[in-house]
Structure 1
Amino acid sequence: MESKAAVETVEAIGASVSALAVFVDRAVGSVPLNGDEVPRGSSVPGLDPLRDQADAYLDGLAELARTEARLAALKVQLVAGYARTEKAMTPPAASPQDCMVRDMAVTAEVAGVLTISERAAGNLQVEANILTAGRPLTMAALQAGAISWRHARIMVDETENVDPAGAAELEAHFLDPDAPDPARGCPAGELVPCRFRAKVCTWRERHHPGSIEKRHARSSADRRVEYTPDSDGMAWFSAYLPAAQAVGIWNRTTDAARAMQGPGEARTLTQLRADVTSTWLLTAGRRPKAEGNTGSAIDGITDEFGAVPSPAAQVLVTVPVFSLLGLTEEPAMLDGYGPIPPSMARALVADGAASFLRVLTDPRDGAPLEIGRISYRLTKQMRQWLRLRDAKCTFPACNNHSLDNDADHLLAWARGGPTGISNLGQSCPKHHRLKHNSGWTPAAASTNDPPGWTSPAGRHYRSEQPDWEPPHWPPRIQAMLDHLDPPDEGDPCTPEIHGVTERPVAEVPFGNGHEAA
């Protein structure tokens, strides 16, 4: 079976190479860049030869990406096949020491053939064994060129501590369009790897058999600060912290850095963040020790264990209502991070009310119902909804965080575009400029779905939609619902519990300003 799969992969690679040759011939050999000649091999000149040539280059790149994926699938099959063949040749009576030496020899052989380190060869063997033996949908997608090698490695990483049934369910959610609950929005292969990892991690946390509270408690014990010297008189300073604290520090630092920007400030936002952080840690907020106090206090944070306050910068948290009430233990979602333990979300409610912006979700399908208000300014309310809907810059492959982005009309106000959520999108400053100064145009959006984009070449890139799913119901309430009789059809007084098809639209105020800044 494995040999047959390898042969099929080779045949697919051959087809890809043939198609690639056609695209390269169209692109490189058809018409020179000065446009003086008609396309080679064509009796009818193209209406726009240069446009045809540019499209051929892009088609070639797309086919090359599929070919690279198929080559990666073949490498995985060959590595796994070689390791299994060598294992089959090991005498049954061999001692554990002999088996270990044989495994080391196999790893060294693979490393030598591929000219990589033995550590990298060992990792490749592990990944190849997992993919060929236990991730059939991932292997099939890789062989078809539908996902890249990085996507396949992410699937291996994120299913490492999940039981086989859970791993199969995760695979099906993202790679099987006929699954009972397929992922919404872009197919996996159209997401850049870092965004694919974020979506896989979010889904895994919601379905992980182990309690996120227990796993967070174990990981929290490992919190630490690290220092690593680097070259050119520089060094790395990092901290491993609970997510709410880390995101709050990042947002507060960003707010301070953005406030310092202006015509007379030459430093970039990244440089300002670094300078603000250094200044705060080294000088800001130092106060003399109080009499009888042997500790110190910096900006209101004492050195007593557990005295770190909730973040002062605004933090957006999406909380399933039953989890907020303590009836279930499913994760909440922290803007700029991902899934967090429900106890952390409840602590933000209790301790950081001034900076915590609550988002309740529909207990039927997980979509947002309403967003907490902290201001009467309508444009700010809309901006918070955009943060919830988009989470990042909506441009393809951009991972810029929502706090750094600009709210902008998709259809310009001057051309009749309304100031409503379905006509707004978040773009980082770079892609905001690109929208106004190039042929890149955003596509339509909705209240809950961000816009896709269309390139100057006419290629459409779909948006990365939020992958909402129904929250967990408390067992007692679920038991009550299971024993309810179905409602009578046409009875206007009967609440819709079974077969809900529509969700009430969130009431988000729409402003009438000329710019949603």
Structure 2
Amino acid sequence: MSTSALDWADQLSHLLDTAPSAEALAAEEDAALIDLITATERANGRLAAAQARAEAAFWDAQLREQERQGVPRGQRGRGIADQVALARRITPKQASDEVALHRVLLGSLPRTSELLEAGEISEYAARRIAENVLVLEEEDRARVDVDLADQLPSVTARRAGDLARARAQELDADAAVRRHQRAVADRRVSLQPAVDGMSILRATLPVKDGVAVLKVLTEAARSAKATGDPRTKGQIMADTLTASACGLESPDDIPVEIQLLMTDMTLLADEEATAWIEGHPLPGRVARDLALGVPTLPPPAHVAADAPAPPPEISSAARWIRRLYADAKVGDLTEVDGRRRLFRGQVRRFILLRDQRCRTPWCDAPIHDIDHAHRFADGGSTDADNGIGHCQRFNLVKEMPGWESTVDPASDDRPHRLTIRTPTGHIYQSTSPLLRHLLDGEDGARAEILADEPVDLDDASDPSRRSSPTTVDDGDRPSDPEGLSEARTG
């Protein structure tokens, strides 16, 4: 930032510090509150324009700096959006997309940019316009910008995007086809956490594929209902999708080899501490049923809520326990030793379970590579303290000039901590996720991870038969999910 930019940022911060409190607003006239809402909405657009200009200027400056440093042409640009992501506390993918759109907005859509800077349109509207002209040539982008300028202040953000897409299709039909092809290439499946121990599995598919999948599931539900299946249509469709994708007869047959984390007391002594499965919180009682193979299902509609529960049916699906215990005070997993250059076996399993997702702050992508925070070539050790799980993107970014990583091992009062220093000298930190939040007086609590070792279901309910805190050996047991690979950039 230049001195003037720093001064402006400081002034903005001081201005926001003087924002009226809830008590002060409660004493205002209704008309004044509407005026404030209008003013802040316009300010949001103007701030978004200022942020877009800063991101574009930062991109250009970093490209020049990488060229000066002798970074190969094919690698120039790597790590720039990642610095923006850290500054904005968003994912690197989001930052990459937004920087690209901001460059189009500022470079090709001057009238739209002016409306955003004036607070006449929202940042979302400007983004929708930019993404719909992205595949056009510069001249056609300018024509869309001119044609829509007068309409934009009076339409919704969604409508603004629709108008831009329609005009783009008229100007270049080939671009519309390329946009469709790009969307098809970007088809994907994602998982998001939902409330009450549920998740949202989302598939972004070509329209014909989506229609076909829904038709198959609908037909399965209709057929099952015709034979007297008591489940609802939605339940049948969900169960059919899960069983088909997993190649099983029923979702209850899914083996628990999906990194279910819970305390030994939750498993064996009816404690209600929250468990975690692939980063998703799960009620302790539900996790216990899942671990022991007891389906957690609501009673059929014809059964009274207060009726005695029938004996639970134990699922035949495989169940495993891996015994890796957590630090007694902070709930962070304890160290497992390893002395190789590559992270394999127990050490690799341990880091995957400890970190759960990419440890880059605000990234949250799946772990793809496990590498040394302190480089192996510089004397870094291949152990759990120095090992860090990262997504593939950041594992490449941290090899760029100016990036540094250091770690602080777990201690009695805090979990494992990663510190990242960017080329601009900014510092960001992340800590390994805790397996539990301890309450006062729980100094002796410990956590374990369900995954790998057979459970004797006949004895699992007896707290006196809990296993000792040992580590699992590296044998021919179920492999880690997704076939995650070690980083070799050291």
Say yes or no: TM over 0.5. Answer: no
Larger RCO of the pair (alpha carbons < 8 Å, separation 6+): 2
**Band the TM-score falls in, shorter-chain normalisation:** 0.3 to 0.5
- When normalised by structure 2's length, the TM-score is 0.42
